[in-house]
Structure 1
C-alpha cells in the first residue's frame, strides 16, 4: 500500500466505491439508498419515529431536501415497510425484515473492507473525518 495524502478526492473515491457496493446490495431488494437510510434511522430509533424527525435526520445527513426525503418515506409506507400512524412512523414486520437483511449485508461489506486495517488507523481516520464533517456542516450552515 502506498502512502497518500488524504484530501477530498481520496475521501470521495472511498465513499463512491463503498456506495457502489451498498447500491449493489440494495438493488437485490429493489431498495433505494434513501429508503435504506430511512429504514435504518427508524430502526435506530427503536423501530418508531416521528415523521418530522425522520425527515430532518435524512435532510441533515444526506444533504437533500425535505421533498426527496418525504418521497422515500412515502414509498416505504406505500410498500408496507413503514406504518403511518399520523405523525409517527413504525417499522412493520416486513420493514424490519428488510432492514435486518440490509444491515447483515452491510456488515459483510464492512468486514471485508476494514478487516485487516489496524484499529489505531481506523480510530484516527474516524477522528479526522468527524472533524471534516463538522467543518463542512458549519460551512453549509453559514451559507
Structure 2
C-alpha cells in the first residue's frame, strides 16, 4: 500500500483506471467478451433491456469517447454472438437476449467481488470526495471535447 498520497492528476487517475480495467478485461476474456462489449451490454441493461439502436450507439460512443462506427461494429459483433437481438416489436430497437443477460450478470458478479476487495477499508467520505472530484474532471473534459 502507498504510504504517501500522491496529488491527483491525469497520471494518477489513468494508473487507477488501467489497473482496474486490466482486472475487468481478465474477467471478460474468460467469458469471450471485450471491454467494448461490456460497456455496450451495460448500456442496454441500464436502458431497460431494450433501447433504440441510434440511442445506444450515441450513449456508448460518448462513454468510450470513440467514433460511432466503432460502436456500430460492436453492436454487430454482439448481435452475431446472439447477445443482442433486434426487437421483434420495433426493428429500430435492440434488446438483450437471455445469453446477453447471463453474460452481463456473470461478469458483473465477478467484477463486483474484485471491486469489493479494491475498495475495502476506504472510508465512505473519501470515496464520496473522490467521486465528486472525478465527476467534475469528467464534466470539464467533456466540455473541452465539445469545444467549450
TM-score (norm 2): 0.94
Specify the SS of the correspondent of 2:94: strand
Correspondences of 1:1-80 after superposition (within 5 Å)? 1-80=3-82
Unpaired runs of 5+ in structure 2?
Answer: none
Counterpart for residue 134 of structure 1: 139
What are the superposed Cα offsets for residues 80-137 of structure 1, whole Å, 9 maximum, x if unpaired? 1111132101111111001100110121111010011000000000000000000000
CA distance in 2, matches of 1:36, 1:25: 11
CA RMSD between the two structures? 0.9
Residue 118 of structure 1 pairs with residue 138 of structure 2: no
Structure 1 residue 6 displacement after superposition:
0.6
* Structure 1 gap segments, 5+ residues each: none
Distance 2:4 2:42 in 1: 35
- Runs of 4+ more than 3 Å apart: none
Q: Does 1:91 align with 2:96?
A: yes
State how many pairs are aligned: 143
CA distance in 1, matches of 2:21, 2:147: 28
1:30-50 deviation line (CA, Å, top 9, x unaligned): 101111111111011111111
